Amino acid sequence: MRVRPVRDGAMGWGAGGQRPELGELPRARPPRAAWADRLLAELGGAVDATILCAAAVVVERALIPTAADLAELRASSEPLLDPALHAAPRRFFAFLDEPAPAPRVETRTVRAIAGGRVLERRLRSAYRPYVGAEPKRPSGPVLLEHWMHERGRARATALLLHGFGMGRPRLDAAALLAPRWFEAGLDVALLVLPHHGARTPVEARLSGQAFAVPHVARLAEAVREAIHDVALSARWLREASDAPVGLLGLSLGGYLTALAAGLLDDLAFAVPMAAPVCMGDLAWRFFRRTKHARAEGALTAFELRRSFRVHSPLAHPLRIARERALVVAGRGDRVVPASHAIALARHWGGIPVHWFAGSHLAPFGRAGVADAVTAHLRRLDVL
């Protein structure tokens, strides 16, 4: 199966390919559903709301900057507000347009599974931070758990991207329905994102904490490194298997999936699930709940959207054929509201959204999600 590239400006952009500003996301609701789905959405939303209330305390203590730190937070956004960067946000990911040597790969067998085996891949990374970014640790190897059929038996590989705070392949595999995709005939590769799982810095208290640091430039750097790792992994998997590679991501992984679909033109498919599309909007929704939002010098909602704009999926045109993309979202999601999925679907030219009955943290309707994604991949002749 050949993947047809789509170039910049091909879809979802105004005349002349102008890059839009990120305003407020549309105040829209999912289409009306059957009463049983509405009930599950209400139940899932209540679960989300309850856990969000508890999480808000942890977030304020561990991630939200104090009033004394607000000046540094504001200063950290300045490099990403460069008008030239806003006019051409792909420049932030310029490494994608540079020649990339084949990585050195270390492999070990982890276990046998029905129909194949599971391998651990460690891809040596030559990643270089963005000018001005100073990560606290050198870039280590890119980690993949690779579920393989016998060589030549899989028609494509699904590269799976986990959510925030995850990064343990055994748990990620369940959340991302890896057994379903493998049984359907796809090879599967579970990527450990930067600052997560085995890549968590020793000073971090939890997986992903260093990714969501309240520092605009460092968070952008984490996103940038993650996109590097996605591109490196997809390229290596494609060359190693001589078969197409597509992306399926959940939550933070969904954000990166949607962003990658606006940066890479050789993906066989892109399926962001429960994905935010504007980190500034998400940050504001947490920040406004805290006492720091009223402090002098605090960033406004507009300023947060502009600060995170360079890596928002809404700032980049879809580079794969529109029919290869599918958005999946929860009707009752209170962590990532429906406005994010609707904005992404509109930005991508009005593509379909599969609405499942549950929420971000209570994903009722997972069987329906698996069926919808399977049908999507069959239409693409991937399965």
In this prediction, residue 54 carries a pLDDT of 66
The closest of 100, 356, 121, 95 to 227, measured between CA atoms, is 95
Check: CB of residue 212 under 8 Å from CB of residue 63.
yes
In this prediction, residue 35 carries a pLDDT of 76
Check: CB of residue 325 under 8 Å from CB of residue 300.
no
> What is the token pair recorded at 114?
């029905």
Beta bridge partners of 192: 143
Q: Which pLDDT band holds residue 279 (cuts at 50, 70, 90)? A: confident
Residue 62 has pLDDT above 70, yes or no: no
What average pLDDT score do residues 3-7 get?
48
Average per-residue pLDDT for the chain: 85
Beta bridge partners of 160: 190, 248
Residue 290 has pLDDT above 70, yes or no: no
Q: Could you give the count of Cα atoms lying within 13 Å of 282 in the half-sphere of its Cβ?
A: 24
Distance of CA 65 to the CA centre of its chain: 24
What average pLDDT score do residues 134-159 get?
84
**73-112 pLDDT per residue, tens:** 777 778 888 888 889 999 999 999 998 888 999 999 999 9
Q: Which pLDDT band holds residue 176 (cuts at 50, 70, 90)? A: very high
In this prediction, residue 101 carries a pLDDT of 83
The closest of 208, 219, 280, 263 to 55, measured between CA atoms, is 208
What average pLDDT score do residues 329-353 get?
93
Residue 45 has pLDDT above 50, yes or no: yes
In this prediction, residue 13 carries a pLDDT of 36
In this prediction, residue 366 carries a pLDDT of 87
Give dist(CA 375, CA 353) in Å, integer. 13
Between CA 320 and CA 329, with CA 325 as vertex, the angle to 5 degrees is: 145
Which one is predicted more confidently, 138 or 147? 147
Q: In terms of DSSP H, where are the helices of the chain?
A: 35-62, 70-77, 83-87, 169-175, 178-183, 216-241, 252-261, 279-287, 301-307, 338-347, 366-379
What average pLDDT score do residues 38-47 get?
86
In this prediction, residue 15 carries a pLDDT of 31
pTM: 0.89
What phi and psi, each to the nearest 5 degrees, are found at residue 382?
A: -85, -35
In this prediction, residue 11 carries a pLDDT of 35
All structural domains of the chain with their residue ranges: 29-379
Residue 258 has pLDDT above 80, yes or no: yes
Q: Could you give the count of Cα atoms lying within 13 Å of 46 in the half-sphere of its Cβ?
A: 5
Helix (H, G, I), strand (E, B) or coil at 108: strand
> What is the token pair recorded at 40?
């599950």
In this prediction, residue 75 carries a pLDDT of 76
Q: CATH fold of 29-379, please?
A: Rossmann fold (3.40.50)
Residue 287 has pLDDT above 70, yes or no: no
* Alpha-carbon distance values, 78 to 64, 82, 303 (Å): 19, 7, 11
Residue 133 has pLDDT above 60, yes or no: no
Which one is predicted more confidently, 136 or 312? 312
Q: Which pLDDT band holds residue 72 (cuts at 50, 70, 90)? A: confident
In this prediction, residue 165 carries a pLDDT of 92
What phi and psi, each to the nearest 5 degrees, are found at residue 115?
A: 90, 0
The pairs formed by 254-257 with CB atoms below 8 angstroms and a separation of 24 or more are: 254/161, 254/163, 254/328, 255/223, 255/279, 255/313, 256/161, 256/193, 256/223, 256/226, 256/227, 256/230, 257/161
In this prediction, residue 289 carries a pLDDT of 59
Residue 306 has pLDDT above 90, yes or no: no
